Each structure stands twice: as C-alpha cells, then as structure tokens.
Amino acid sequence: MSIGPALRYHWNVNLLGRAGLRWVRWQAERRVKRGAHGKSHILTPPLKISARTKELIGRHYLKGRYANLRGKVAWVTSGAPIEFLKALDFYLLYPENHGAVCGTTRTAVDICAQAENAGYSRDICSYARTDLGTMLSCQTPVGKLPKPDLLLTCTNICQTVLHWYRVLAHHFDVPLILIDTPFVYTETTDHSVAYVKRQLEEAIPIAEEVAGQSLDERKLKEVTRLSKLASELWLELLGRCRHRPAPISVFDQFIQMAPIVEMRGDNFTVDFYAAMLKEVDERIAQVIGAVKNERKRLLWDNLPVWYRLRYLAEFLGRHGVVIAASTYTNAWAELTPKMDPERPLESMARTYMYPILNRGTGDKLATMRQMIDDYRLDGVILHSDRSCKPYSVGQMDQRDRLIRDFGVPALLLEADHNDSRSFSKEQVANRLDAFIEMLEV
Amino acid sequence: MTIPAIPRRIDVIRTFKEQGGYVAAVLPIHYPRSLLRAFNILPVEVWGPPGIKARDGAKHLQPYVCSIVHNALSFLQSGGLDITDILIVPHTCDSLQGLGSILLDFVSPKQPVIPIYLPRGKRESDVDFFANELRSIYRQLEAITGHSPTDADLLQSIYREEAADKLLSELHRCRRNLPFSNLAFYRLLRNREHLPAETFMELAQKALAQKVDTTQDGGIPILLSGIVPEPMSLLGAISQMGGVVAADDLACCGRRLYPPGQSDDPFRRIAERILYAPPDPTRGNSIKERLEHLLQLVETSGAKGVIFYEVKFCEPELFDLPQLRQGLQEAGLPSLTIEMDLNDPLSHQALTRLEAFLEMIQ
Ligand code: SF4
Ligand code: SF4
C-alpha cells in the first residue's frame, strides 16, 4: 500500500472514525443507563451491549468505506467458507448483511426500485435486488460500499447467490470463485465432500493471486480457531434462551447476529460474544426475561422481517408471547463448532455443506422438532418468505406435520424479509391474533 | 409437405413398457439420457405440463413457486404420472430442489424418487464430481431394475444418444430449409423429450429428407430464448404476425444440443456432454458466455431481434435478463421480454407487444 492512501485510511478509520464511533457508543450507553428507551411494560430494554454492537457494525462499514485504499476487498455470501480470504487479509463485505441493514433502516424498497427500474424483476430475492440497486446507484445507508476485487459465492444457502454473483461478476469484471456444495437430500456422499474440498483447494491460488500474497497456513488455522470460538459462544448464547423466561428473544438475536455472520475469524468478535454472554447470564440470575410477562414461547422459522422487528416483538410481547428460538439464528451456531482448526480445509468442506438451507425439508422439520423440545416451545411461526424459495418451499408440509404429527400449533405467515411491499400489516395482525387465541394465552 | 407422423406420447410409453422396459418421468432440464436407456428405462420429460388444474400442488407449494414445478406436482398427484416407474428430479434450481426434497420427505409418491445434483461449472473438478454422481445414480438404478449394464453397454447407449443429438443439431441448423411452420418444427423437435433415440432418429431423418436448398420462409427472423415455448400457440402467433423462429436458446431445445463426449469412461463421457453443452444459467455459465452464445446464434441465423419468453418466478432466467438485453442492445439488437404462466393462455397484452416488436424490427 502506498503512503498516501494508507494515511487517508488510517486518518479516516483509525483516528477520526474510531473516535466518532466511540462517542456514539458512549452516548448510546448513557441512554441505556438513563432508561431512555422508554419504560415499556411489554419488553425489557435492549441489552447494554447493543451500544457496542452498533459500534462494531459501524466500524465494519467504516472500514469498508475506505477498504479500497487499504487492500483487497472480497464480496462474499453469508454461508461461504471465508476463513482463507480472511487469512489473506481481504476486507470482506457481505451483501446480504448490507441488505439487512437496508431492511432495518427501511431504505431497502427505494434501493430495490433502482434495480427494478434497470429491469430486475420483483420476483427475484429482495436481498439481491437491494444489492443490485446499490451496485447500480451507489445508494446505501452506510455511506459507501467498497468495490470488490474478488467475489466468492457458495451455493450452500441457495442457487440464487450463484445467479446474483454472476451478475456482480459481469458488472465489476472481477474473478468469481464458486464453491458449489451439492444439496444434501438425505445424506451426503464422500464424493460430494471431496468435491467441495477440491474446490476450496482450487480457490486458494485464485485468491492468492488477487491478494498478491501466499496463504499462511498458521494464519488460516488461527482464523479458523477464532471462527470456531465465536460460533461456540453464539451457540451458548442461543442456548441460554432455554431458560424461562428467555433472557433475550429472537428479535434481539437478529440484531446481535451481525458480528457472527460478517466478523467471523476476528478476535474482537470472540470478546464481544463473551461479554454478551456475561450480560445475558446476569439477566438470567436476576430472572429478567425479554418479554416482561412471558406466558408462551415460540419458534421462528426463516429469515426475519427486517423492517418490522419492533412491531412483531411488541405485538407478540403484548400477549406475553416470546419467540425464544429460530432456525435462522441457529444456522450460525450449529455448524462451525464442527470445524477443526488443525484440519481447516477438510473440516471446512464438511461443515459448509451442512447449513440448514443445504439440507432436505425433512431434516429441517427434524431440527425444528428438536428445538421445540430443547427450548420447551409452545408453537411455531413459519415466515413464508416470498423472496427465499430454498427456505420456504417445504414449509407447508412442515406446518402440516407439526400440527398433525406432533400436535404443535404452527402458523404460516406470508411476508418478505426485505421488501415491505409484500407485508400486509392488517393481514399479519389478523393471522397473529387468531394464532395467539389458539395458543390460549 | 408435412411433418412426418409423430407417435402419441402415451402410445410410446405403453409400447415401451409392453416390451419389458421401465419409464422414468424426468423433470427439467439436464439429465443422463444414455444412462437411463442403458437400464432399459425410457425417460419421458415433464415440463409442467401446461394447462392443468394446479390445485394439488398448491397444498404443498407457495404461489411464488413457478408453474412448471406447481404443475409437475399437481400432475403427479392427480395420477398423471402413474404409468411411470421412477421419478428423476435434476437439481436445476431452488424450486426443483424443493420439489425433489418434499417428494422424498413428505409426498412419498409410489415411484422411487432419484434427485440428481448438477454441478454449476465445467471445471475439471465439476466433471469429476458429476461422473461420480452418475456412478451413484447407476447404483440406485441397479437396485431398482436389477440390471447391471457393462461399460460397453453404457458406451453403446451413449453413442446412440450422440447420434440422435447430432441429427437434432442438424435439424436446428437447417431449420429454415425445411418446409415446416414454427409450430410444426417445434413439435418435431420436442419429440426428443419422450421418444427413444432410435425412433427420434427415424423421424429426424424423414424430416431432413425434405430439406431444400432455398430458405422456405420469408418471415422476420427472431431468436427465441427462455425455458419452454408453452403454450405452444406462441409459435403459431409468431408465424401469424410474420415472424419465424430462426434460432433458439430454449432450455428444452437449443440449450440441450449436447456435443459428443471425449472420454472413453462412460460416466465421464456423459458428464462432459452435459457440462459442455451450450450455456445455461442453471449450469452456472457466465453472463458473458451466454451473451457471446446469443450473438453467435444471431449471426448464424440472421435473427433481427431476441424474444425472452420467461416463466414467471424463474430466478435463473430473470437474473440474467438486464445484462443480456443491454449487451444485445449494444450490439444493435432489439429484444423483448414476455413473462408467462403455464396455466394461462397468451394474454392480449403479450400478443400486442409481440406484434409491435415484430413490426419494429421488420
Ligand atoms: S434470502 Fe434466500 S434466496 Fe435470498 S440470498 Fe438468502 S438464502 Fe438466497
Ligand atoms: S422454470 Fe425456472 S424456476 Fe421453474 S423449474 Fe424451470 S428453472 Fe426452475
């Protein structure tokens, strides 16, 4: 890196930016202390650590804003095996996470419209539309996204990301690494695992060439170790929701999951989740629940409805209903502990083939069933996400089986994770009311 | 002159079964025909079918899943596939992945269900993986049929399919020197979806025997892209409006002009044939490859415009459209997109746009 850009990066990120974000965090912490979030009689105020979450996310995007000055940038899918890129010092941007930021800040629809005006159909995933809208217009609530030098897409969450990243590759004219992970209908085969491992091996020289450096085996092991540690802490955190009352709800989890998705493999992510676990344990010791008057506990299936988190939390909370677990947040907890830092590539190949979205619909039902038992849940809300076919196809049968075979009340709720035009407040309220009545709260 | 007599699909199936064969219903798009035939299994493709009551499928699938998948499930559940012995579900897209999975886990039809994972590239590792995947399919078919074809049997079956595909390519190549309408020509081509290769070859040879030296139609040449030209009345409408389909990039037709394989290992050879076929988004080809292929088709066919005829909710197709259309535009080629649902007739709006497009490029 030449001196000019290096100085600009250092000035903007490490000096000005860091100080600014610290100030914002300090203010947020004071607000939490003063109880400035309002005295809700429904929900417990957010975790104190939320101020730090904001700071982490802010810092991540701030680094991103200047990342092209500092080194190489890769855009990656949320389920991709990123450890080798991290070990090669890439700045990693997760367009899906950026999509979620656009969803929560309610800027997604405007940004999607940019993509739609350019001919992208409203029938494609709204994360993709959000990202393509940003690609075309540079519109984003985080200031500015860095341009990629490399793209990494992994089909372990969907085929959509393959089509989406092909579009990015065409637009930015940069190399696209594909890690194709054969779908596990019932059980995986040895030739599938060997295939994924070989693709990882073949990906390394491509990434090395873009990075202009060779992969250091020790660094890869270290990144893998940190990834694993953070995921284990995340798993523990989610497990704390087995307590009654649940100390945090999935709505808290949705907000707090950003670092585990986009900051895996970093030291500070491990520290962050260790601190969060401590705070959650304090809540448990003081018998504080996310919902003040917890009466029923539910499971959430599929992506969040990013632009309606607060609305849904309060709507359910009013009736004493907490959503204590979700197959979605669980996806970043259930896998990485299987990783072996001593055999990073082999273990990565197996691990990254197994996210919930790359397993059959029956297996997903079994996961839900297990979570219902583990977390002592009273019912399930299956968000039928118009955008996400791999998560949603199968839900109609899963709902029917939950009700018929296991006697668990289950509701299919039609929406979209990022496109609020597919969310009918009235319809959702009616369906939730009827469901809550059925739960006999 | 007319198109040679085409045997009815149901008669073909019955005859094949009477002769001791099995029949597999196969969902779109790519699958190993020759492997199935080596087990005396006749693949019969299910592209929907169009125009059926999709009620049964709606019990399992949300409305935002494409009509090909909805119809296939409805058709299966209404008994339309009862005559078949095996269901083959290639992993073509997220929707077919979902269908394959719910068939295995929840619907449990009477026929065994075999999903096939198609790699999304054509690297050495993809070919190796796919060859291994085919070996695993071989073992499943062995268990179902009790047959164990040898490598020589497999190669013989592959050579037969290669010969049939060569004739299919020939039909595509000299389509404008054949005395058939758009509709008749595509009816002929689409027999490849259910006829045994040997029967298809007879048909193709009869059709090719009618080839003349001069171009048979004076219509406005267009290139048709998309998944499947259903309802087939689309082709009639194009003719009526003075257009002629001079080339296609359809998943059911032009994207399946499989080249001959190179390897002597039967499994690798099948893998090579499928993975090296013309570009297809469901096999992960880049947009650049697709654009170059379209431009080449335009050049060889003299097409004056491109019609993208897309199934609603089909992500693999929809993602590529803006950049493909932009690339075509930069090359001076107008294009039009029409979305369809298999269960709806061609709308007036679609017909009007089609007519305006043909007038514009004339
Ligand atoms: S929301 Fe679903 S379809 Fe969209 S990128 Fe994520 S997994 Fe893929
Ligand atoms: S039309 Fe598109 S979405 Fe539907 S099955 Fe075919 S490839 Fe999949």
What phi and psi values does residue A234 have, to the nearest 5 degrees?
A: -60, -40
Minimum CA–CA partner of B336 in chain A: A119
Q: Give the pLDDT confidence of A304-356 residue by residue, as tens digits.
A: 999 999 999 999 999 999 999 999 999 999 877 788 999 999 999 999 999 99
Eight-state DSSP code of residue B346:
P
Collect all residues of chain A within an 8 Å Cβ-Cβ radius of residue B283: none
Second-level CATH architecture of A71-440: 3-Layer(aba) Sandwich (3.40)
Comparing CB atoms, the residue among B120, B136, B322 nearest residue A180 is B120
Would you call A361 an interface residue with chain B, using a CB distance cutoff of 8 Å?
yes
Residue B233 burial (10 A CB sphere; 0-12, 13-18, 19+): middle
Angstrom CA distances, B347 to A23, A53, B215, B234, B281, stand at: 60, 52, 31, 10, 27
For A140-201, list the strands marked E by DSSP.
150-154, 176-179
Q: Answer whether A341 touches B (CB < 8 Å).
A: no
At residue B191, does pLDDT exceed 90?
yes
d(CA B37, CA B201): 15
Min distance A44 CA to chain B CA atoms (Å): 36
Question: What ipTM was assigned to the predicted interfaces of this complex?
Answer: 0.97
Beta bridge partners of A383: A413
Taking alpha carbons only, the member of A351, A333, A348 closest to residue A232 is A333
Residue A357 has pLDDT above 60, yes or no: yes
Nearest to B95 by CA among B116, B70, B112: B70
Taken as a whole, chain B contains a residue count of 362
A42: helix, coil or strand? coil
Which tens digits make up the pLDDT trace of A210-246? Answer: 999 999 999 999 999 999 999 999 999 999 999 999 9
Is the minimum CB–CB distance between B176 and chain A shorter than 8 Å?
no
Give the CA count within 13 Å in the CB-facing half-sphere of B300.
11
pLDDT digits (tens, 9 = 90+) for B167-188: 999 999 999 999 999 999 999 9
Asked which of A24-38, B37-51, B160-174 is least confident by mean pLDDT, the reply is: A24-38
What are φ and ψ of residue A339, in 5° steps? Answer: -75, 145
Spatial separation of the C-alpha atoms in residues A95 and A390, rounded to whole Å: 18
pLDDT-derived band of residue A15, with 50, 70 and 90 as boundaries? confident
How far apart are the C-alpha atoms of A318 and B150, rounded to whole Å? 68
d(CA B71, CA B79): 12
Please give the average per-residue pLDDT across A46-66, as a whole number: 94
Q: Which residue matches tokens 């075509």?
A: B328
Which of left, alpha, beta for A316 (phi over 0: left; psi -120 to 50: alpha)? Answer: alpha
Kindly state the tokens that stand for A156: 């372990």
Coil, helix or strand at residue A325? strand
For residue B1, is pLDDT > 60? no
Q: What is the rounded average pLDDT for all residues in chain B?
A: 96
* Chain B residues 245-284 with CB within 8 Å of chain A: 281-282, 284
Percent of chain B as helix, strand, coil, to the nearest 5: 50, 15, 35
What percentage of residues in chain B have a pLDDT greater than 70?
Answer: 99
Cα(B313) to ligand 1 centroid in Å equals 14
Task: Pick the ligand that lies closest to the CA of residue B312.
Answer: 2
pLDDT at position A27:
84
| pLDDT tens-digit series, residues B114-171 | 999 999 999 999 999 999 999 999 999 999 999 999 999 999 999 999 999 999 999 9
Q: Where are the domains of chain A?
A: 1-69, 71-440
Query: Does any CB of chain A come closer than 8 Å to the CB of residue B128?
Result: yes
Atom of ligand 1 nearest to the CA of A159: 8
**Which residue's CA is minimally distant from atom 8 of ligand 2?**
B93
Sign of CA dihedral B131, B137, B142, B147: negative
Residues in A closer than 8 angstroms to B120, CB to CB, are 155, 159, 162, 178, 180
The pLDDT value recorded for residue B340 is 94
Query: How does residue A1 score in pLDDT terms, banded at 50, 70 and 90?
Result: low
How many residues are listed for chain A in this entry?
Answer: 441
pLDDT value of position B96: 98
| Whether pLDDT at A102 is above 70 | yes
Residue type, A239: G
Q: Which tens digits make up the pLDDT trace of A388-418?
A: 999 999 999 999 999 999 999 999 999 999 9
B315 Cα nearest atom in ligand 2: 3
C-alpha B297: how far from chain center? 18
Residue nearest ligand 1's atom 1 by CA: A388
Q: What is the pLDDT of residue B69?
A: 97
Task: Decide: pTM greater than 0.90.
Answer: yes
In DSSP notation, A92-109 reads: EE-HHHHHHHHHHTT-HH
B97 interaction partners in chain A (CB closer than 8 Å): 159, 183, 390, 393
Q: How confident is the model at residue A25, as a pLDDT?
A: 83
Q: Are B346 and B340 in contact (CB under 8 A)?
A: yes
Residues of B in contact with A167 (CB under 8 A): 287, 319-320, 322-323
Name the nearest CA neighbour of A99 among A310, A436, A387, A439.
A387
The Cα–Cα gap between B63 and B58 comes to 7
Interface of B with A in 44-83 (CB under 8 A): 59-62, 64-65
Contact B74, B55 (CB under 8 A): yes
* Best of A163, A391, A395, A416 for a ligand 1 pocket test (most atoms within 8 Å of beta carbon): A391
Say yes or no to pLDDT of B54 above 80: no
pLDDT at position A334, please? Answer: 85
Q: What pLDDT, on a 0 to 100 scale, did the predictor assign at position A219?
A: 97
* Nearest-ligand number for the alpha carbon of B70: 2
Residue B253's pLDDT band (cuts 50, 70, 90) = very high
**Residues of A61-71 as b/e, b for ≥16 C-beta within 10 angstroms?**
bbbbbbbbbbb
User: How does residue A67 score in pLDDT terms, banded at 50, 70 and 90?
Assistant: very high
pLDDT digits over B265-277, tens only?
999 999 999 999 9
Instruction: Look at residues A194, A222, A240, A221 and name the one whose alpha carbon lies nearest to residue A333.
Output: A240
